[in-house]
Amino acid sequence: MEEQTGSPREWLIPFAFVFCAGWAVWHTPAYILDFLPPENPSLFDQMSELHLRKDVTPGLSGLFGGKADIIDWAVLFLMPIIFYIGTRTVRVAHMEFQHWRPIDRIALFVGRVTMILIISMTAVMLYEVFLRYVVERPTLWANELTLWIAGYVFMCSGLYAMQQRCHIRIFLLYDMVPRWMQRLFDIISVLLLVVFAFFLVYGSFHQVFVIKFYKWEMFGTAFDPPIPATIQPMILVMVVLIAIQAVINLISDWNLEQTVHTAADDIDEDELEAIKRSVGSD
């Protein structure tokens, strides 16, 4: 993996994935009606009415006799392709964790997608401020959309932080023991995380996927985004991915030499030099 960064594709590929994923999520009722139509007639009619009300391209007819139109199908096929291209072309910046493995490309690309989401969320907030205080015509959707994107940013950041080993850790006891005991501590912590992820998914799978997702529960506001139907399933997905990434980290770091952590580890030398240059200090 190359370390040089800054090329346009580092922006375009994550942005294309965010766009396709957003389109697919917004039109998920069409996919549900096509792939797993509800057997309950009232629920089927309710889902159909919701799809017609939220469809961005109501003028296009569904393909294969279903609800999803040609754009919905195209986006569905493009998502894994763009994701694969993104994971293959992602580049590691010099300030990121350097002892990466090829499998870490997934978490790294998720990190790039998260960065695009942060930019998108900021743009929505600035647009709302402009309309509210300059034009005096505030939107009905900016607040809920910001909350929605922020939820994804929070969860996706967890996977990226786990891969970067930048999550909160307490090294007081860890640094005092020999390397073999550090490995034992690592096994115990990863095991606890995996057990937590398993029981979280086991205990809430029906509530989250059958009730929230399959029935496509909405937020109940004027904009009415499907925040309950998407955020709660995403929590389970991300917890599982974080647990898998923790196992990957355990295997990747198994043969690393023992290191002692100090307060100096929290200092970014590049950032410190940039601050010195900005204030004109040598």
Least Cα distance to 204 among 226, 242, 227, 234 occurs for 234
The pLDDT value recorded for residue 251 is 93
CA dist 57 → 77, 233, 240 (Å) = 18, 26, 34
Residue 272: predicted pLDDT: 67
Give Cα separations from 99 to 94, 165, 219, 279 (angstroms): 12, 11, 42, 33
Indicate the DSSP class of residue 76.
H
How many Cβ atoms are within 10 Å of 89's Cβ, its own excluded? Answer: 16
> Which residues are within 8 A (CB) of 67 and not within 5 positions of it... i.e. 6 or more apart?
29, 30, 33, 34, 48, 51
pLDDT digits (tens, 9 = 90+) for 142-197: 999 999 999 999 999 999 999 998 887 788 888 888 989 999 999 999 999 999 99
Helix pair angle (28-35, 41-54), 10° resolution: 140
CB distance 138 to 131 below 8 Å:
yes
Cβ atoms within 10 Å, residue 171: 13
Sign of CA dihedral 111, 236, 45, 222: negative
Question: CA-based angle 200:30:15, to the nearest 5?
Answer: 75
Closest of 163, 13, 10, 5 to residue 92, by C-alpha: 5
Q: What is the pTM of this model?
A: 0.88
Q: What is the CA radius of gyration of the chain?
A: 22
- Quote the CA–CA distance of 202 and 63 in Å, as a whole number: 36
Structure tokens at 163: 């891969």
- Reading the chain (282 residues) residue by residue, the pLDDT tens digits are 444 566 788 899 999 999 999 999 999 999 999 999 999 999 999 999 999 999 999 989 888 889 999 999 999 999 999 999 999 999 888 888 888 889 999 999 999 999 999 999 999 999 999 999 999 999 999 999 999 999 999 999 999 999 998 887 788 888 888 989 999 999 999 999 999 999 999 999 999 999 999 999 999 898 999 999 999 999 999 999 999 999 999 999 888 877 776 655 656 666 667 677 767 765
* Residue 2: per-residue pLDDT: 47
Q: Which two tokens stand for residue 64?
A: 């294969």
Reported as a single tens digit per residue, the pLDDT across 30-41 is 999 999 999 999
| Three-state SS at 156 | helix
Q: Residues 196, 202, 204, 208: is their CA dihedral positive or negative?
A: positive
Return the axis-axis angle of helices 70-89 and 105-130, rounded to nearest 10°: 120
Cα–Cα dist 212/231, whole Å: 10
